[in-house]
Structure 1
Amino acid sequence: MNRIYLDHAATSPMHPEVVRTFTEALGTVYGNPSSIHGTGRTARKALDDARRVFAKSINAEDPEIIITSGGTEADNLAIFGTAAKKAGKHIIATAIEHHAVLHACAKLEREGYEVTYLPVDANGRVEAEDVKKALREDTILVTVMLGNNEVGTIQPIAEIGELLKDTGVTFHTDAVQAYGLLPIDVDELNVDLLSVSAHKLNGPKGVGFLYQRKGTPLAPQLIGGEQERKRRAGTENVPGIAAFAKAVAISLETKEEKWEQYNGFKEMFKTVLRNEGIKFSENGSHQMPHILNLSIPGIDIESFLVNLDLAGISASSGSACTAGSIDPSHVLVAMFGEKAEQIRNSIRFSFGIGLTEGDVIKAAEKTAQISKRLALQ
């Protein structure tokens, strides 16, 4: 059976050119970037070249990029690193953040911090005005994701950044799901910290970065050597970083093309369902193009996902980090409430490289067939 992979928001396959870059670097760029000999300098150049790509992609300066092991570490560094450097004890987040943010905030709450979790509307969008109303004299950090990983809703980051300007409050955005698809300019967004992960845009797992605006207070969370300008200890994963840079370069070249293609896939998928007489509603609005989250009345998500898997289709019920859990999606709960039917009947399809129109149509047809079968049970 040829599987159809529709879970690119959870993780994406590596681009063939990225694989080549990665494997070549594994065999040739093996030096420690901190070593002063020629082999080390070769690794340092690869690291510096990659950092330049990352910085340019978000209109930042090279020293403002901190290489991490991925989005989770970048989020943790942003939150714990800010808390350790600033005197206040109040943080503002939204109820739909990734668990890398929510669990970090919960840990700080256990240590005596107060966290205000802002609500979102039925489309999964937070109001900038709510951020303004939640600000206090002791607020040290506002953290709001750029694009939601479950329903795809894009948040008003630039608007929030503008109102936080000159307040002294650090502004962090988790851009893991949006990076590579949305245009990102840290000056236009007015963010101080921004998290990114490679494996969401066809790069390798285990590498990412945190943008830190010059002058933004941040305490290191990993202690050891003096790598990353003493902000993140540990010998850098140079082959992974080089491969990540290749993935970023490709994503910048193909961003508009992917936007159009993935939006086309979404409309194609929904058209097939309508033609098959399947009733559904779409969760979220003002979305990133690659995420399609649908509520289909009459189904139960666990059995639905099992049937899709047996049919050779990989999809998800929400965040990949809670896959296999029967707990309801915290994003859908925030949008609709704990008793809403969307909690039990919503499924996320997400698109990426390697998919064809034929794949999308076939997946939609099988989704319709399974929906009809399960609705009769």
Structure 2
Amino acid sequence: MSPPSQAKNVNVHTLLIVALTFICALVIWLVYDSLRPAASACEAIFQQSEMQLGVKLHVLKNQGEIVLGRQPIAELTEKVQAVAVNLKACCVMHSGDTDNRGFAQCQSRFNQFTTSLTQLESQVSNATQLHAKGGESALVEARQAASALLEDIYSVSDKLENEVNTLSAPPLVRNGELFLSEQFEGEGINERWRIIRPDNDRWMLQPSEKTLLIVTQPGSQVEANDSLRNVFVLNQALPQEDFVVETKVALAIQHQKNGASLGLWENADNYLEVGYFGFSHGYNVRRSPFFRKELRGKAHLVEENLNQHGRVKEPETIHLRISKQGNKYLGWYALVQGDEAVAESAWKLIATHAVPNFNGKVALWASNDDGKVYSTTASETPEIPVEFGYVIVK
């Protein structure tokens, strides 16, 4: 057995090591924090709101399943993410001016949401304690009260999103021949991109490859559907005059319903979409470009059938384009090899849609539609990676 003085020396030595380790870690963090780019005012607001709401959501996830149920908690998680994203979008669309009346309205909605979430957190906590004591009748009442609070929370979230959708976005400004050249080469995504229904496990910026990666999953916005995830909407107004918007996409369609799209987006009931998709072909898959418009929840689609059947092992590269000519919008595609340049003659017209008084914003997305396939071997389509290589407006 060690003498007391020796044990004391060992304890002091250990405490010194712990203290020095902490100090070193603190110094490293301070150096890192001083060197990294400062967050913009809008990004700082997003980080603060996400953290504030995340703490409450963590409590609800840990304690709320008995009171709320698993599916409502999943829906609540989406609403929390949407509120943080929309508050940032509101800030960006007011050019970072957090003192004006427009942003104050968004901030007021956020405060309403936070208050209702706090009330729900308290309700769930009390109900959990009652349940532990065997208070089943009180638990039923708590569930009813929680359900009413959830309706309020969803309503506030939807109102904030609708208000952001109707805001006048700052216009794109011409720089030489281009209004926009997004190459996805920075460490972080441009803050003017707003992600509708974000799922952070299924998208990533890949600066070394200069691509935006989105992993497909079930979700659709066609007609009555409104479940599409990871819709990247650029919160900047397109030119009033005629324009062209283009993107490059690499994807290896594996089954029916895999697809990727370039869109002009007002909301889930009003948009234009040119894309590349795995259409049903009996039990097989038909890989085809298409051009869809949806107005007031009614969709019209034109497919360019290339007679390409079956899945592919290596990603195909397709360039997608929407051009505006007055009140008409033309959907185009060009299938090329890898990084091969696209000659103007390579563009093929799919269809023309007439949409008077349309004010869509540039949008990107990838999905598995409803995920249901017609096959003898699989009942659902697999997730696939989709890589967007650039977006330009000219």
Normalised TM-score (structure 1): 0.26
More strand, by proportion:
2
Larger radius of gyration: 2
More helix, by proportion:
1
Normalised TM-score (structure 2): 0.25
